[in-house]
Structure 1
Amino acid sequence: MTTGFASQGDMTEKTITFDEIGEGLWAFTAEGDPNSGVIIGDDSVMIVEAQATPRLAKKVIEKVREVTDKPISHVVLTHYHAVRVLGASAYGADQIIMSDRARAMVVERGREDWDSEFQRFPRLFQGHESIPGLTYPTTTFSDAMTVYLGKRRVDIRQIGRAHTAGDAVIHVPDENVMFTGDIVEDHSACYCGDGHFADWGRTLDRIKAYGTDAIAPGRGAALMGREAVSRAIESTRDFVQSTYAPAARVAMKGGTLKEAWTAVREVCDPKFKDYAIYEHCLPFNVSRAYDEARGIAHPRIWTAERDLDMWEQLRD
């Protein structure tokens, strides 16, 4: 096992793709790095997920300007993680939207999450010196809200806990397209360090019930067509279940975190070791699964210090 987190050594620049997944709807993807979405309305543009820094956000803006000159009026953040939100200032949007629960998590653990993620994944924080501070929304919602970009309706919903307690999805009815944040991934490991394993499958069921024609997942390629959507939902479900079940078996027997790590690897490595950020996510996923199985319902806050303490327990 390496002495540092797998992501600390990942300094390879990723190839950006920008795919139209419905009329005026685009997925900004980058080989397993965090995705963003673009929703073009009659008079303005909504961005889904801001990226980690203003410098990285400008790469999204460059792609937007290839397809429209309409102003960016809204930024929707599906959850609170630093790699998703800290670039929001670059867009100059009138509204930054989060769920109430996501905002509460910024208050509770936003600074700690920023420090932790910066330590884990330095490449994703290019231009970090330009981040003005924590990103707080200007607008929040409890369960659901609707935004009209001219005639184009955009529904923003909380349909269940999964990747975090504050996850939101964005559905554009006129094209039946959804932006799921990190609830759904494609050929990329789910980060479960702040997740809710017991709820994740039910939340996937609710996404599946929409019968969407395309999805922009949190990481991985745009999912075009119902077959691709279903495949990614089910592979995400398999990843989450395959992580939790072996860790829970160890926890129920009073085993150690290191034993849970070994048990999860035995199940997950043969199926998922080639997934993007798999090695990066694994220690955090095992730790959270082990905690949840022992009755710790509210994910513990990750700090830079806790990251290192956990890693010491798992190193050979």
Structure 2
Amino acid sequence: MSKAFASQADLSEKKISFTEVGRDLWAFTAEGDPNSGVIIGDDSVMIIEAQATPRLAHKVIEKVREVTDKPITHLVLTHYHAVRVLGASAFEAPQIIMSEKARAMVAERGKEDWDSEFQRFPRLFEGHESIPGLTWPTTTFNDRMSVYLGNRRVDIMQLGRAHTAGDAVIYVPDENVMFTGDIVEYQSACYCGDGHFHDWPGTLEAIRNFDLEAIAPGRGAALAGRDMVNAALDSTKDFVRSTYRPAARVALRGGSLKEAWDAVRAECDPKFADYAIYEHCLPFNVARAYDEALDIDTPRIWTDKRDLEMWEQLHG
């Protein structure tokens, strides 16, 4: 294989930041690694995203304990991907919340995704032997639900398909702040391998309609202020469209996946080559864009075997 697969060569430790994005609202970020969020209520704490392993989850817990000793009662998972959910056991939260669609995706493809992501991201699976198994929610919802942490209301909503078909966002109305999961990224490539390119821009506009004070994105730094929020929404939309359109043109004229790869690189490299995990994401993104252009609405399941075959096809 001519190029190190996915993120196998990324072994450097990332600097952790813990940023307050609203009153008692915190973003745990780490230079393009998966983010987590923290919502502190009157008498309890909600965590958003569990990290890939219990060991990595404890890094989030350490930061939480620097700002509050209230118990962690709720864990919200914005979608099913292994690097977001497999650390859940560390939080010992009585309530684990996912959309009903995200739970269905755990059942449909959770084990395959775990094997696939473990191969792609060895550094993120530090302490993987402590993962007890697939993470299942205790509570699911369709469209939206609200959780009350004392008087603080938290709205958990599906605004549309984007990064996956089961994406949820978490909105805190008293501070007008949203935790978006991987629907929004900042200075980081979007992973579109399980995405829905046609729907994604509209979902971003649904987020924009909240006129938010701040966003904690899926990857990248916390976004404080409307200018940063809108810049991140714009750059995410540009990334999605710049990936899909060249690939679709090739697919619809009967061109090959390799030709689509070359066309997307020509469009995206000048704008996004310095983004975190760009080289990792690009082959998966092109493959999914090519499929969606051919009306394959449900993303094909990635497996560790399919990953390597596709990578070799484009890089070999």
Specify the alignment match of 1:146 in structure 2. Answer: 146
| TM-superposition CA deviations, 1:276-302 (whole Å, max 9, x none) | 000000000000000000111100000
> Following the alignment from structure 1 to structure 2, what is the Cα–Cα distance between the partners of residues 71 and 312?
47
In 1, Cα distance between equivalents of 2:83 and 2:287: 20
- Unaligned runs of 5+ residues in structure 2 are none
Residue type of the alignment partner of 2:38: V
Helix, strand or coil at the partner of 1:183: strand
1:207 offset after TM fit, Å? Answer: 0.1
Aligned ranges 1:64-75 → 2 under 5 Å: 64-75=64-75
CA offset at residue 93 of structure 1?
A: 0.3
The separation in 1 between residues aligned to 2:205 and 2:175, in whole angstroms, is: 20
1:186-265 matched pairs, under 5 angstroms? 186-265=186-265
Tell me, yes or no, if structure 1 residue 50 matches structure 2 residue 32.
no
Q: Which residue of 2 aligns with 1:301?
A: 301
Give the distance between the partners of 2:89 and 2:261, measured in 1 at CA.
38
Which amino acid in the other structure matches residue 237 of structure 2?
R
Q: Give, in angstroms, the shift of residue 29 of structure 1.
A: 0.1
- Match of 1:182, SS state, is strand
State the identity as a percent.
Answer: 77
Please give the residue correspondences for 1:92-241 in structure 2 after superposition, counting only pairs within 5 Å.
92-241=92-241
Work out the CA distance in 1 between the residues paired with 2:283 and 2:122.
Answer: 18
Cα distance, 1:2 vs. partner?
Answer: 3.5
Please, which moves more after superposition, 163-172 or 4-13? 4-13
Q: Distance in 2 between matches of 1:311 and 1:83?
A: 20
CA displacement 1:197-232 (0-9 Å, x = unmatched): 000000000000000100000000000000000000
The Cα of 1:5 is off from its aligned counterpart by 1.5
Structure-to-structure mapping, 1:12-31, within 5 angstroms:
12-31=12-31
Distance in 2 between the 1:112 and 1:230 partners? Answer: 35
Inter-partner Cα distance in structure 2 for 1:192 and 1:164: 8
**Any stretches of 5+ residues in structure 1 without a counterpart?**
none
SS of residue in 2 equivalent to 1:62? helix
Whole-angstrom CA distance in 2 between matches of 1:207 and 1:109 = 27
Report the equivalent of 1:35: 35
Distance 1:97 1:243 in 2: 31
Distance 2:62 2:221 in 1: 19
Q: Could you tell me which amino acid in structure 2 is paired with residue 178 of structure 1?
A: M
Q: Distance in 2 between matches of 1:180 and 1:216?
A: 6
Q: Give the 3-state SS of the residue equivalent to 2:165 in structure 1.
A: coil
Read off the aligned partner of 2:280 and give its amino acid letter: H
| 1:292 partner amino acid | E
Letter in 2 for 1:220: G
In 2: Cα distance, 1:152 partner to 1:6 partner: 41
Question: 1:289: which partner in 2?
Answer: 289
Query: Aligned equivalents of 1:205 and 1:177: distance in 2?
Result: 16
The count of corresponding residues between Structure 1 and Structure 2 is 316
Amino acid at match of 1:16: I
Task: State the distance in 2 between where 1:235 and 1:2 align.
Answer: 30
User: How much has 1:3 moved relative to structure 2?
Assistant: 3.3
Distance 1:53 1:261 in 2: 32
